[in-house]
Structure 1
Amino acid sequence: MQSLFAIKNAAKAESDQMQCQILAGIFFKQIGRDMILKFVRTFLLEAFQPQIRWSMHTLVHNLFKNASSQNQIDLYEILMSLWPDAMNVYGAKSAQYCDLVGYFNLKLADDSYHHDYITKLIDSFHTQNRLLQNHPNSLIYESVGELDGLYLESEPCFICNNVEQPTQTLKLNALKVDARFTTSQQIYKLAATYSVQKILFKLSEVRKTKMIQTITVYFTNRQSHSIVDLKMNAKLWSKAKQVRVEPGQSELKVELQLPIVCSSLMFEYVDFYERDSDKSAEAAVLQCPRCSASVPAHPGVCNTCGENVFQCHKCRAIN
């Protein structure tokens, strides 16, 4: 009875292996090299969440195991084409990528074609080590000992400073204690200091003939200033990001590369889409009911006598 189960399990495992090999063959046949390169770069190197990178690591590993010899070489060459970016751009996020490169090198050790790749790997390490050794702040970092971050740099690193912490989605009304508005700005003073990673806008067309085209997000962590001072003094604000809104877009997600620490937020609506009906209305010419002069519909005030042109010529009731 036990031998029968063993035979069935072995047959099932062999069948699963064959199906995986067929699926891997279809994958490499149907998807081009450029698409695979973009797919690997996006989810193995650019993804901020380590869970996504490890899932991609598992997928690439299984594709390699079940691929033919030629497809294994193609996949290895695709990964090696990303090596300069992995070393120079992605930093700590390339851990899963480097693990795959090491595994591929071990499995393809009998082939001489990848000798050039190994030489390039060693040259890249030498180049990066020289850059670190010749960095202007390298002596200071060595003298102060171990630190949790690189605090002497003038520009933040978007890889090392992106600490993966759990976030919570909150409505702005639950955070604000005061608000001020101008013709193109919304200013909110928050109840405390918050670390903001993402902002979600929900847009509705209050004026159908004019829609928002560009939104700029500003922030400040100066708690000592009142909201009136923040409204009047533009120097207190720092620009976080500027995003473009597509025509008819109802939701807009603003994702920041690094979290901003702020106690106040300001949203500035810079540019607008103007529809043809709005332009034709502004280009229309009306007649002044008092002096009969020609007056443009926008702003609709006669330059001669100052009369409002949007009124009935008989009863003078303003429409």
Structure 2
Amino acid sequence: MKLESLKSETKFTDNRIIVKGTGSYTIQSVTLNVHDAWKSKSVKVLNLYYNNRPEADFSELKKNRSLWKCAKICHLTFNQTELKVEFPVPITACNFMIQLDSFYENLQALSLELFLCPRCSRPVTDKHGICGNCHENAYQCKQCRIINYENLDSFLCNKCGYSKYGRFEFNFMAKPGFIFDSMKNDEDMKRGLAAIESESENAYRRYQQLLGFKKPFLNTRWGPRASHVR
């Protein structure tokens, strides 16, 4: 499965991809492919984290590191574009976090690397990043145009996850799982009850839809004489 087919929502930081899954999955392996990789900077250490808390919200997932369990720490070679991580004991997870922990830097290639305007692709030499041709700010993300003022040289865009150093594709060998973490306190219980209430409403709504589909069949006469039926 591609990562896109497992996720319900994704958030990004300068160096993290946080994925909230559509449900719980039992994961056997994870494969990374880097497309259009640049030679100037590449991932040195990649950490994989997970948890199995379907009720967790993104503010918790981003800030509370204690929610995460480390699945694997991967050391990559310079400009490595393929990586497969297999788990001898499959992990069960609702949420997944990919952390790009440290990087290789080719100083010679970085010194020759042109700072290009994301709008007109002209080289930008202004120290504030303003393009002399179209006057756009060259520090903005090429894909979503946001500017990360806290880290102008971030590896990932903290809004859309775009990276000028390569396009990252993750694939999972996984199947739906049905095991969840146990409740440990009153807050867990409240979130669990809220999830039950929500799923009960969804089930009732689906039941009503099915009843609506059933009525036309019951009102239709099937057989040789039902010439009006096509």
TM-score by length of 2: 0.48
- Report which of the two structures shows the higher radius of gyration computed on alpha carbons: 1
Q: Considering Cα pairs closer than 8 Å and 6+ residues apart, tell me whether 1 or 2 has the greater RCO.
A: 2
More helix by share: 1
TM-score by length of 1: 0.35
